[in-house]
Amino acid sequence: MNAGMMEYRIVPMDIKRVADISVNKVQLLADAKHVQLLLETPGRHVWVKADVFRVEQVLDNLLSNALKFSSEGGIVKVVMKPDPSVGTLEVSVTDGGPGILAEDLPYIFERFYQGRTKAKQSAPGSGLGLALAKNVVEAHGGRIWIESEAKKGTTVRFTLPLMKPGESV
Ligand SMILES: Nc1ncnc2c1ncn2[C@@H]1O[C@H](COP(=O)(O)OP(=O)(O)O)[C@@H](O)[C@H]1O
Ligand SMILES: [Mg+2]
């Protein structure tokens, strides 16, 4: 779990392909809950410098949280916004679930921390998903943060370094 103990294999990757894989993995669960999974990406490839497996883990964790906390008929949306002038990609995962209480927010990225928001009809988690996501994102030089309000839903955003045209890693 500690960033220093993980090995990273940084390569140029099209994060749209990884997002497709992550979304596909939870599609059946989303269908069963009648939750709409939306993926909003720019037209063509989105090249980032990242470890494919770790980024997939981050997306898996965020999608699984978003789905776990969505109620029947909800919407989960993944949006990708590249900002070439800054050299970063921003990815957000939004749900319309119960949200996170303000008093939980400062601790939510800590290992084993589970907020007071509990999911209905789902096995209890471990409190490790967001801690892992933070480790991975920060190991790539990115940041991760949450915008959430009780009863209004949750958006988790993170950034990753974009590949510059002609750049190699
Ligand atoms: N999308 C979300 N909506 C509401 N609460 C959330 C969401 N994502 C995370 N949380 C809160 O943050 C806590 C920690 O999340 P996480 O680290 O993924 O652990 P776990 O999912 O195993 O409980 C959760 O227990 C929950 O209280
Ligand atoms: Mg989780």
The residues facing 30 across adjacent strands are none
Which ligand lies nearest to the CA atom of residue 92 in the structure? 1
- Compute the distance from residue 84 Cα to the ligand 1 centre, in Å: 31
Query: What pLDDT, on the 0 to 100 scale, is given for residue 165?
Result: 81
Give CA separation, 15 vs 46, 59, 79, in Å: 6, 10, 12
Indicate whether 1 pLDDT > 60. no
Where does residue 39 rank: exposed (0-12), middle (13-18), buried (19+ CB within 10 A)? Answer: middle
**Which of 84, 77, 75 has its CA nearest to residue 48?**
84
Would you call 141 helix, strand, or coil by DSSP?
coil
- Compute the distance from residue 11 Cα to the ligand 2 centre, in Å: 26
- Compute the distance from residue 167 Cα to the ligand 2 centre, in Å: 35
The residue whose CA has the least distance to atom 13 of ligand 1 is: 114
Residues 22-44 pLDDT 10s: 999 999 999 999 999 999 999 88
How is residue 5 annotated by DSSP? G
Query: What pLDDT, on the 0 to 100 scale, is given for residue 122?
Result: 66
Domains and CATH numbers, the chain: 9-161 (3.30.565.10)
Query: What pLDDT, on the 0 to 100 scale, is given for residue 150?
Result: 87
